[in-house]
Amino acid sequence: MKTIRVLSTAIIVLSAVFMAPSCGTLNSEALLAGGMQAIQAATLSDAEIKSYVGQYIANLDKESNVLPESDPYTKRLRKLTAGITEVDGTPLNFKVYKTNQVNAFACADGSVRVYTGLMDLMTDDEVLGVIGHEIGHVGLKHTKKQFQQAMLTTAARYGLIAAGGTIASLSASQLGDLGQTLASSSFSRKQESEADDYGYEFLVKNGKNPYFMAMAFEKLESLNSSSNTSSAVNNLFSSHPDTAKRIARMTARAEKDGYKRPATKSTTTTKKK
């Protein structure tokens, strides 16, 4: 059924290509190529998805300030994620981006990136809860679906799939367009709720109090509502719906499972004094 739905989406894209109003000379071969690329994008295998995402992440790492292994932030992240090596068979790799933005993300190829702004805001267990949430999007295949949709969006413009099953190398402009599409996309409420539950269970699995999921959300909500928040700060989950409801749901679940709210602690920081 999933395959049928994905193909239906591609067929809609293909139909839209041929039903588009004529403007000048219609290049039917180019339109057909775009439509076929849409079908190919919709049916990408896990290996193909990971290969394309890997290209995107490699380019993003080049453009970002990735902190070295010797940096205190990286050492802190290594300590936090010790023993966390894979999700659903996909190997994980962790890096820290030096930026004041409050953010973190995980991709279908297992790349997890955490921003120093987030690490400055939160305690270790809160950071781990956010990481668990982001990894959840990978384990639950949300990131794969998101990338497929991004491929469909740009399929009519670029030949993102090479003939003969060979993975194409994306150009700088293709990577840029793909990055913009991914940046503007978002997960559904259902997917966010599923990732919240994954993060909750992730904390429990790693011997942590899952109440920290709610506490991480509280800090993000407080930062987002603060009038003093800098425009340079990208508040994680700021565009996600019903943050208050999500906090309440995580709190209720933790209390139902017998967990007590941890004593308030000062933010664990790795800032150099």
97, two tokens: 């981006």
Query: What does the alpha-carbon distance between residue 25 and residue 147 come to, in Å, rounded to a whole number?
Result: 32
16, two tokens: 């839209």
130, two tokens: 């956010």
Cβ-proximal residues to 203 (8 Å cutoff; 6+ apart), any chain: 125, 128, 129, 132, 209, 210, 212, 213
Cβ-proximal residues to 154 (8 Å cutoff; 6+ apart), any chain: 160, 174, 177, 178, 181
230, two tokens: 């800098």
Instruction: Find, among 73, 77, 120, the residue nearest to 100 by Cα.
Output: 120
Tell me, yes or no, if 134 is annotated catalytic. yes
Choose the catalytic residue: 134, 194, 201, 255. 134
What is the set of active-site residues? 134
